[in-house]
Amino acid sequence: MRGDRIGLGRAGPVGNGTPGPDVPESAWARAVGLISAAPEVALACHVSPDADALGSMLAAGRALTGLGKKVVASFGDRRFVVPRLLRFLPGQELLVEPAGYPAAPEVMITFDASTTARLGLLNRNAARARELIVMDHHPSNEGFGTMSLIDPAAAATAVLVEELLRRLGVPLDRDIAMCLYAGLVTDTGSFRHASTTPAAHAMAARLIATGLRTDEIARELWDRSPFGYLKVLGLALDRVALERDAVHGLGLVWTFVPRLDRAAYGLPYAEVEGMIDVIRRADEAEVAVVLKEDDDGAWQVSTRSKGAVDMSRVCTAFGGGGHRMAAGYTSLLTVEETMTSLRDLLASAPVEPPR
């Protein structure tokens, strides 16, 4: 029976479930050997961590601690603050500020970072690590470490981490599962994006079976905000613009959030992360953009497409990165200048029929 192939067993060659991540056996074997032999492992995820970056790192941290290893975990932001949305994730006792991170780790693992630039301050430590294991699922990741556990087809970096833990012989407990689930559910857009494969659902089933509360995780991630968010969203919606002729006539919808708006309502930068999900609803636009001014005055540009335009290519051209339908970059120009250069690039970007 065909349906038998889609079981809920562990992924990978040992289980009877859906196929595991597409990483060469030799790479898994080498990574497992390195990690098993190391008394100390340093973990790092990308700056301004999202749930997949931080969740993947903390899940691995918990697991490696359980194996008796000394573990430090960090991310290279100058302002070292865990976004409020992610403070419910277990394992944060492993976090150290970048200044307290080993200068030249014997074994270092990076999570969900597609380039060394995404490591921020920890780029220096990564450059001096004896072994640098890169775990990621961004198609643009060229593998900047001494070894790669990269699968561009994986729904989340958490998928790769689950497989690593299985190979290390670490059973999933509720805390590890919460961290991995936060990454999986975020990167699949609550199992709505095209990355939502049978394997993604099978992994979710394994995680939920540990007893985690999907309702509580969903509320922490998406269904709560300080009141000030509503006011700042109102201002952003008030200035939202639709440019029907942009992107070869496919349409562009965009808005911006100056830090003064946030300051007026005491709203931290991280709280405006999800605003793009409101803006991208507009049927009349293929591409949605939100420019968010961070506390340093730089504009963090979030972009989404509905599949016809590869936003990863567009954002990479501006020094950022991401996925086809969700990508971003940092702009030090004004809003007007940023939008002019983005519009120009979108006007020459190849348009493909949605997959």
Part of the chain binding Mn ion (CB under 5 A), chosen from 44-52, 92-100, 119-127, 265-273: 44-52
C-alpha Rg value of the chain to the nearest Å: 20
Q: Interface residues for Mn ion in 314-343 (CB under 5 A)?
A: none
What does each C-alpha distance from 122 to 95, 216, 227, 263, 330 come to in angstroms? 13, 32, 34, 29, 18
Report, in Å, the least distance between residue 59 CB and Mn ion. 13
Q: Count CB-CB contacts under 10 A for residue 58.
A: 33
What CA–CA distance (Å, rounded) separates 196 from 113?
Answer: 21
- CB closer to Mn ion, 262 vs 323: 323
- CB closer to Mn ion, 330 vs 338: 330
Out of 10, 51, 52, 144, name the contact with Mn ion by CB under 5 A.
52
DSSP sequence for 94-129:
GB--GGGS-SS-SEEEEES-SSGGGGGGGHHHHHT-
Report, in Å, the least distance between residue 9 CB and Mn ion. 24
Contact between 271 and Mn ion per CB under 5 A: no
- CB closer to Mn ion, 195 vs 338: 195
Report, in Å, the least distance between residue 3 CB and Mn ion. 30
Part of the chain binding Mn ion (CB under 5 A), chosen from 46-54, 206-214, 273-281, 285-293: 46-54
- Identify the three-state secondary structure at position 42: strand
What CA–CA distance (Å, rounded) separates 17 from 19?
Answer: 6
- CB closer to Mn ion, 112 vs 220: 112
Part of the chain binding Mn ion (CB under 5 A), chosen from 3-11, 152-160, 294-302, 314-322: 152-160
| Residues sharing a CB contact under 8 Å with residue 213, sequence separation 6 or more, in sequence order | none
- Supply angle C-alpha 287, 292, 298, rounded to 5: 120
Q: Interface residues for Mn ion in 94-113 (CB under 5 A)?
A: 112
Contact between 261 and Mn ion per CB under 5 A: no
| Interface positions with Mn ion (CB under 5 A) | 52, 112, 156-157, 187
